[in-house]
């Protein structure tokens, strides 16, 4: 499999050959930031179109089909409409916190987005506690949601923010324990180390029963963490209009909208990293010919393809199950998922200690 770090090292050496080190580093950081923003925006536009088409297929409709061939330009048209919308300033609100909230949500999403291993040698942030950093920065988003609901001076936004805060803080425990289960199995918190540990067989296959349990719980908790149906109580249209972002307009609303779809990709990307080998191709021990064929597929295709497949499952949840009540949502976490997760972590430790995995 081709190592993309060869290209990045060549670019770095080229810049260092004719300019000072600090200037080369600055140019590289700016280029990476621009590339990250571009990929972020394009992925959000793709996911908006993707969900609309999947939803339409489930409901026996066509979905977007007017703007561009097969409606491909509909998301771009919506983006331009959002950009030219007026930012409405409300009375009797905390203007600073009201303006700050969407930026906190988008920053948390961007920082999490940067940790994902896109391909072999193609990762922005890579250090020995990468998973810990990912969990830490992803938790910032709930602060933006709570600030948005409180600063809007609206009872519906406040209720939506409190629901979202309770939901996200609760389900972060299940996500954290599922991640911890797989970190224990991998023996490292390095994102690259976790991917490379799955060279021979992905963890979902080699991790035995605890890995499968952790994946199912992670998928449920990840869906709840992104406030998507059937866990979309913070934005329950029939009860709270648009929930915590009811009072937002223009691009400030667009930030919440973008973050929701990118969080879907981030949750799917982390599941790909922990359970399905990240950018690592499917290798089966003893099948050397098959493994060589799999290596011809670019690593970035493996990662993005797996993430989109998992995203499809999460979207499938939304359009298949009715919305839960708030008491049902919290009972699912505290009475069922959390105890099962704690038991599963102990089970994984026993599997590791006694060598019961493949």
Sequence spans of domains, the chain: 89-353
User: 1-5, 62-66, 251-255, 296-300 — which is least confidently predicted?
Assistant: 1-5
pLDDT at 213 over 80: yes
The proportion of the chain whose per-residue pLDDT surpasses 70, expressed as a percent, equals: 97
- Measured between alpha carbons, how far is 7 from 12 in angstroms, rounded to an integer? 9
Tokens 């006694």 belong to 354
pLDDT at 2 over 80: no
Q: Label residue 303 exposed, middle or buried (CB < 10 Å: 0-12, 13-18, 19+).
A: buried
pLDDT at 238 over 70: no
DSSP assignment string, 162-192:
HHHHHHHHHHHHHHHHHHHHHHHHHT---HH
pTM comes to 0.89
Please give the DSSP secondary-structure letter assigned to residue 297.
S
The proportion of the chain whose per-residue pLDDT surpasses 90, expressed as a percent, equals: 22
So what's the pLDDT on residue 242?
66
Overall average pLDDT of the 333-338 stretch: 92
Burial 111-149 (b: 16+ CB within 10 A, else e): bbbbbbbbbbbbbbeeeeebbebbbebbbebbebbbbbb
So what's the pLDDT on residue 112?
87
């Amino acid at each position: 499999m081709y190592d993309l770090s060869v290209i990045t090292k060549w670019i770095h050496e080229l810049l260092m050959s004719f300019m000072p080190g600090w200037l080369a580093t600055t140019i590289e950081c700016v280029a990476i930031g621009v590339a990250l923003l571009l990929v972020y925006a394009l992925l959000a536009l793709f996911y908006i179109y993707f969900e609309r088409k999947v939803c339409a297929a489930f409901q026996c409709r066509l979905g977007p089909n007017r703007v561009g061939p097969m409606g491909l330009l509909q998301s771009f048209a919506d983006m331009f409409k959002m950009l030219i919308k007026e930012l409405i300033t409300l009375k009797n609100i905390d203007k600073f916190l009201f303006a700050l909230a969407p930026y906190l949500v988008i920053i948390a999403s961007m920082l999490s987005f940067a940790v994902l291993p896109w391909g072999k040698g193609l990762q922005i942030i890579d250090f020995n506690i990468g998973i810990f950093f990912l969990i830490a920065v992803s938790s910032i988003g709930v602060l933006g949601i709570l600030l948005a609901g409180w600063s809007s001076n609206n009872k519906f936004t406040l209720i939506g923010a409190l629901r979202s805060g309770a939901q996200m803080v609760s389900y972060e425990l299940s996500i954290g324990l599922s991640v911890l289960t797989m970190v224990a199995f991998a023996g490292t918190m390095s994102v690259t180390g976790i991917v490379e540990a799955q060279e021979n067989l992905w963890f979902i296959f080699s991790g035995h029963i605890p890995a499968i349990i952790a994946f199912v719980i992670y998928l449920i908790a990840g869906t709840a963490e992104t406030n998507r149906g059937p866990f979309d109580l913070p934005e329950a249209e029939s009860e709270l209009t648009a929930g915590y972002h009811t009072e937002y307009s223009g691009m400030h609303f667009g930030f919440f909208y973008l973050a929701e779809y990118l969080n879907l990709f981030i949750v799917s990307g982390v599941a790909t990293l922990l359970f399905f080998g990240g950018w690592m191709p499917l290798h089966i021990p003893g099948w050397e010919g098959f493994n060589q064929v799999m290596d011809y597929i670019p690593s970035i295709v493996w990662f993005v393809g797996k993430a989109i497949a998992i995203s499809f499952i999460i979207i499938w949840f939304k359009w298949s199950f009715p919305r839960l009540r708030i008491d049902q949502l919290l009972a699912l976490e505290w009475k069922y998922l959390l105890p099962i997760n704690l038991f599963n972590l102990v089970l994984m430790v026993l599997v590791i200690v006694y060598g019961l995995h493949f």
